[in-house]
Structure 1
Amino acid sequence: MEKLVVAFLINPICSSKTKSYAQWVEEMVKGKKGHSINLKLFFGDWPSDLSPYNQVWVLGGDGTYHYFANSYPNCSLPIAFFKGGTGNDFYWKLYGNSSPEEHLEIVLQGKVKKVDAGLCNGRLFLNGVGMGLEGEVLESMNTIRAIGGLIGYFLVAIPQIFLFRSFKVKISLDQEWLERRVFLCMVFNSSRAGGGFHFVPHASIWDNQLDVLLCEPLSILKRIWYLPKIQKGKHEHLSFLQFKQAKQIIVQAEKPIKAQVDGEMMISKRFDFQVLAQHFLIIVP
C-alpha cells in the first residue's frame, strides 16, 4: 500500500485544547488498520511548499481556513478541514454536526469534491463578506473569541444594532447596477457566519455563484425583533430583504466602510467580488 503523506496544519496560535485535539488525531491515525499515513504536524510555521504532500489537513476555525486559503491560493491537493475555532461555520457547511470520530472516518475515506471560493479585492474567502454592521462587530472580535460563538456574537452585535446607521451603496450584479440605502450588505459563498447565523440559508458552495443579501433600513425595534429570525435562517420571506446571485459583484459606498472577510477586517469604499468556481478540492462526506 502506497503511503499517504499528509501536511497537518494547525492554527499557529492554537489553544491547549486544539493542540490536544491535533495529538488525538495523530494517535488515532497511527492506530487505524488498513491505512498507511505519514502525518506531519505543523504547530508553528507552515511549510512554504506543499508539493511533498498528497493531502493537507487544516485544524482551526474560519479565520484559520481563511489564512490557509490565502497562504496557498492555488492549492490543488485534497483538503480536509478540522474544527478548532469559535465559529466553525465553514466546517459546519461541509461536515454538519459530526463528532470527532465520525469526522475522522469521513477524512480517511478520502471522498473529494470541488468547491467554490470567493475573491474580494484580491483576498480569497470561503464563507462570506459582511460590509457595514458586520465590520463594526468585528472590531470587538476579541470579545467574541473569548466568550465563544453565538453568545459572544450577540453580546457584541446588540449594542451595534442600536448604534449602527444605514448607508448608501451602488451595487453591480454581473453589470446590472442597483442603488440602495441598506442596513445589511453581504456577499456570501457559503450560508453561515458569526458562529451560527444562517444569513443566506440556501447558498451553495457548489453552484458557481455568489449570493447577495441586502436589508433595507430598519427601525431599532425591527432590528431587535428580527435578529433571532436571521440567526435561525427563518427570514428569506421578509419583504425588507433582497436575495440576489451573481458571478461578479461590485459594491461602492460613499465613504470607506468596514467589512469582515471570513472574520478578517477590510476597509474600503469599493469591494470587487468574483466567484472562483470549483477552486478547492475538499474531502467531504
Structure 2
Amino acid sequence: MRLLFVINPVSGGKKKADHATLIRNFFNERAETIEICILDGPASEQELKKTIQYWHPDRVVAVGGDGTVKAVASHLLHTQIPMGIIPAGSANGMAAELSIPTEFEKAMVVVLEGKVQVIDVIRINQQEICIHLGDLGLNALLVKNFEQRGIRGKLGYALSSIKTLWQKQSLQVQIRNAEVHLSRVAFMIVLANARRYGTGVNINPDGNLSDGLFEVVIIRRLSLWELFKMIRRFKPFDPKKTEVIQADQVTIMTRRKAHFQVDGEYLGKTSSVKAEIMAKALHVLVPA
C-alpha cells in the first residue's frame, strides 16, 4: 500500500510532536511504501497536487488540524482516494466528528485498517470548500483573534476568547433559497456540514455528513455567559435561541460586512455567501 502523509509543521502548540520522525519510525520495518509532503505554503500545495497525480497513492493522510484536513481534501474531491487524518492541530473538529483517536498510534490504526465513509462537502462562493463548519460573525471573529495573537494551542484560544467576549456584534442578515426567504438579527450564522466544533460545542446536533444536505444554524441571541460556555466546552447553545434550516443550497447576505471563517481558517469580511452541497464528494477513513 502506498501512503502519502501531508504534514502541516505549524499545527498545534509549542509541545507538538515531530510527526515526520514518528511516521518514518512507525513504518521502518513495515511493508507499506510512504511519502511525506510538508505543507508550508502555496508552492507546497502545487507540489502536493503533482505528487497525488503522478505517485498515485492508495491513501492520503492529513497530519494537522482542520485547516490541514481541508487543504488535503481539496485535492481529493470526486476521486476514489480515501483521506486519513492524524489529529495534530489546535482544533481537530473533523477528526472528533469522525471519531478518530487523538493518540498517534491509534490514529495510525484507522489509517491502515479503517473503513471508508463517503461524505458530502459544501462548496462556498464557487471557490472554497467546507468539509466541517464555516460561519459568519462571532466564532469567525474568535478565529481571527486567534490567528493574529500568534499563540497556538489551547492557551491561544483562551486568550483570544477573552478579547472576543467584548467585541461581539449582531448581524442583520437575509437567508434565501428556493424554499425560504428570511430576515434575521443574529450573532452568528453557521454553515454546518458536521455537528460540533473542535472545542466540543455541539452546534448542530442533527447533522449528518452523508445525507446530501447541510444545516444553516442561526444564533439569534447570545449572552456573555452562553459565549463563555461555548468556549469552555460546557454545554451547547440554548435551543430556544437558535433556528436551524436544512438546505442543499443557500445564499446569505449581511447588511454590513461580517467576519467569515471556514474550517478554522479566517477568510476576512464579506457581505455575501453562497453555499451549495456537493453530495458524496469525499472518501474518508473512519474507525472500523
Q: Report the TM-score when normalising by structure 1.
A: 0.85
- For residue 108 of structure 2, what is the aligned residue in structure 1? 104
Q: In the superposition, relative to structure 1, how do residues 242 and 14 fare at CA in structure 2: closer, same or farther (>3 Å)?
A: closer
Q: In the superposition, relative to structure 1, how do residues 101 and 144 fare at CA in structure 2: closer, same or farther (>3 Å)?
A: farther
Matches of 1:10 and 1:152, distance apart in 2: 21
Matches of 1:174 and 1:202, distance apart in 2: 22
Instruction: Give 2:144's match in structure 1, choosing from 128, 135, 139.
Output: 139
> How far is 1:76 from its partner?
3.1
Deviation per CA, 1:50-100, whole angstroms, max 9, x where unpaired?
A: 132221111111111122233454443111011111101111111344532
| RMSD after superposition | 2.6
- For residue 21 of structure 2, what is the aligned residue in structure 1? 23
- For residue 265 of structure 1, what is the aligned residue in structure 2? 266
> How far is 1:114 from its partner?
0.4
- For residue 41 of structure 1, what is the aligned residue in structure 2? 36
Q: SS at 2:156's partner residue?
A: helix
CA contact (8 A) 1:86 1:195 kept: no
Return the letter of the residue paired with 2:253: Q
Q: In the superposition, relative to structure 1, how do residues 144 and 109 fare at CA in structure 2: closer, same or farther (>3 Å)?
A: farther
Q: Which runs of 5+ in 1 are unaligned?
A: none
Matches of 2:100 and 2:48, distance apart in 1: 29
> How far is 1:169 from its partner?
0.3
Identity %: 21
Q: In the superposition, relative to structure 1, how do residues 48 and 225 fare at CA in structure 2: closer, same or farther (>3 Å)?
A: closer
Q: SS at 1:23's partner residue?
A: helix
Matches of 2:255 and 2:263, distance apart in 1: 23
> How far is 1:18 from its partner?
5.3
Instruction: Give 2:81's match in structure 1, choosing from 53, 59, 77.
Output: 77
Return the letter of the residue paired with 2:22: W
Matches of 2:243 and 2:10, distance apart in 1: 38
Return the letter of the residue paired with 1:283: L
- For residue 94 of structure 2, what is the aligned residue in structure 1? 90
- For residue 117 of structure 2, what is the aligned residue in structure 1? 113
Matches of 2:110 and 2:22, distance apart in 1: 16
Deviation per CA, 1:94-136, whole angstroms, max 9, x where unpaired?
A: 1344532222112211421101111111200111111011222
Matches of 2:258 and 2:230, distance apart in 1: 26
Matches of 1:202 and 1:26, distance apart in 2: 39
Matches of 2:6 and 2:121, distance apart in 1: 20
Matches within 5 A, 1:146-185: 146-149=151-154, 151-185=155-189
Q: In the superposition, relative to structure 1, how do residues 281 and 225 fare at CA in structure 2: closer, same or farther (>3 Å)?
A: closer
Matches of 1:192 and 1:207, distance apart in 2: 17
Matches of 2:150 and 2:64, distance apart in 1: 13
Stretch moving more, 55-64 or 134-143: 134-143
Matches of 1:189 and 1:257, distance apart in 2: 20
> How far is 1:25 from its partner?
2.4
Q: In the superposition, relative to structure 1, how do residues 59 and 75 fare at CA in structure 2: closer, same or farther (>3 Å)?
A: farther
Q: In the superposition, relative to structure 1, how do residues 183 and 13 fare at CA in structure 2: closer, same or farther (>3 Å)?
A: closer
Matches of 2:187 and 2:11, distance apart in 1: 35
Matches of 2:97 and 2:197, distance apart in 1: 10
> How far is 1:142 from its partner?
3.0
Matches of 1:129 and 1:137, distance apart in 2: 13
Q: In the superposition, relative to structure 1, how do residues 147 and 19 fare at CA in structure 2: closer, same or farther (>3 Å)?
A: closer
- For residue 228 of structure 1, what is the aligned residue in structure 2? 229
- For residue 282 of structure 2, what is the aligned residue in structure 1? 280
Q: In the superposition, relative to structure 1, how do residues 240 and 255 fare at CA in structure 2: closer, same or farther (>3 Å)?
A: same
Q: In the superposition, relative to structure 1, how do residues 13 and 252 fare at CA in structure 2: closer, same or farther (>3 Å)?
A: same
Q: In the superposition, relative to structure 1, how do residues 58 and 238 fare at CA in structure 2: closer, same or farther (>3 Å)?
A: closer
Q: Report the TM-score when normalising by structure 2.
A: 0.84
Q: In the superposition, relative to structure 1, how do residues 192 and 171 fare at CA in structure 2: closer, same or farther (>3 Å)?
A: same
Instruction: Give 1:10's match in structure 2, choosing from 7, 10, 30.
Output: 7
Matches of 1:54 and 1:195, distance apart in 2: 31
Matches of 2:250 and 2:148, distance apart in 1: 32
Matches within 5 A, 1:186-197: 186-193=190-197, 195-197=199-201
